[in-house]
Amino acid sequence: MILTLLDIPDMMGVLKGVVMEVVDCALPLVQEIIPTTDPAVAFKDIDAAFLVGAMPRKPGMERKDLLSTNVKIFKLQGEALNEHAKKTAKIVVVGNPANTNTMICAKYAPSIPRENFTAMTRLDQNRAQAQIASRLNVVADKVKNVISWGNHSATLYPDVANGTVTMGKDKPTSIEAAINNNEWLSTEFVQKVQKRGAEVIAARKLSSAMSAAKAASDQMHDIWYGTKPGEYISLGVISDGSYGMPKDIVFSFPVTIKNKQWNIVKNLNVSAFAQEKLALSAKELEDERDEALAICAKM
Ligand code: LMR
237 CA to centre of ligand 1 in angstroms: 18
Provide the residue-wise pLDDT of the chain in tens; the chain has 299 residues: 999 999 999 999 999 999 999 999 999 999 999 999 999 999 999 999 999 999 999 899 999 999 999 999 999 999 999 999 999 999 999 999 999 999 999 999 999 999 999 999 999 999 999 999 999 999 999 999 999 999 999 999 999 999 999 998 889 999 999 999 999 999 999 999 999 999 999 999 999 999 999 999 999 999 999 999 999 999 999 999 999 999 999 999 999 999 999 999 999 999 999 999 999 999 999 999 999 999 999 98
Residue 182: predicted pLDDT: 97
Q: Return the residue whose CA atom lies nearest to atom 9 of ligand 1.
A: 197
**From-to residues of CATH 3.40.50.720 in the chain:** 2-119
Q: Please identify which of the residues 57, 75, 107, 152 carries the catalytic annotation.
A: 152
Q: Which of 50, 62, 69, 96 to mutate to test the pocket of ligand 1 (most atoms within 8 A of CB)?
A: 96
**152 an active-site residue?**
yes
Q: Is 150 in the pocket of ligand 1 (CB under 6 A)?
A: no
Q: Mind giving me the DSSP string for the chain? A: -EEEEE--GGGHHHHHHHHHHHHHTT-TT--EEEEES-HHHHTTT-SEEEE--SPPP-TT--GGGGHHHHHHHHHHHHHHHHHHS-TT-EEEE-SSSHHHHHHHHHHT-TTS-GGGEEE--HHHHHHHHHHHHHHHTS-GGGEE--EEEB-SSTT-EEE-TT-EE--TTSPPEEHHHHH--HHHHHTHHHHHHHTHHHHHHHHHSS---HHHHHHHHHHHHHHHH-PPTT--EEEEEE--SGGGPPTTSEEEEEEEEETTEEEEPPS----HHHHHHHHHHHHHHHHHHHHHHHHHHT-
Q: Which atom of ligand 1 is nearest to the CA of 56?
A: 8
Count of other CB atoms within 10 angstroms of residue 112: 20
204 CB-near residues (< 8 Å, 6+ apart): none
* Burial (0-12, 13-18, 19+ Cβ within 10 Å), 259: exposed
Q: Is 57 in the pocket of ligand 1 (CB under 6 A)?
A: yes
Q: Is 97 in the pocket of ligand 1 (CB under 6 A)?
A: no
Residue 146: predicted pLDDT: 98
Q: Return the residue whose CA atom lies nearest to atom 4 of ligand 1.
A: 197
Q: Which of 55, 99, 123 to mutate to test the pocket of ligand 1 (most atoms within 8 A of CB)?
A: 123
Q: Does domain 2-119 have CATH number 1.20.120.80?
A: no
Burial 234-244 (b: 16+ CB within 10 A, else e): bbbbbbeebbe
- Cα torsion 240, 242, 245, 251: sign: negative
Q: Return the residue whose CA atom lies nearest to atom 3 of ligand 1.
A: 197
Q: Is 63 in the pocket of ligand 1 (CB under 6 A)?
A: yes
Taking the chain, what is the end-to-end CA distance rounded to the nearest angstrom?
A: 35
Q: Is 123 in the pocket of ligand 1 (CB under 6 A)?
A: yes
201 CA to centre of ligand 1 in angstroms: 8
CA 120/CA 107 separation, integer angstroms? 17
120 CA to centre of ligand 1 in angstroms: 10
**From-to residues of CATH 3.90.110.10 in the chain:** 122-288
Residue 285: predicted pLDDT: 98
198 CA to centre of ligand 1 in angstroms: 7
Q: Is 200 in the pocket of ligand 1 (CB under 6 A)?
A: yes
Q: Is 207 in the pocket of ligand 1 (CB under 6 A)?
A: yes
Contact (CB, 8 A) for 288 and 264:
no
Q: Is 71 in the pocket of ligand 1 (CB under 6 A)?
A: no
Architecture of domain 122-288: Alpha-Beta Complex (3.90)
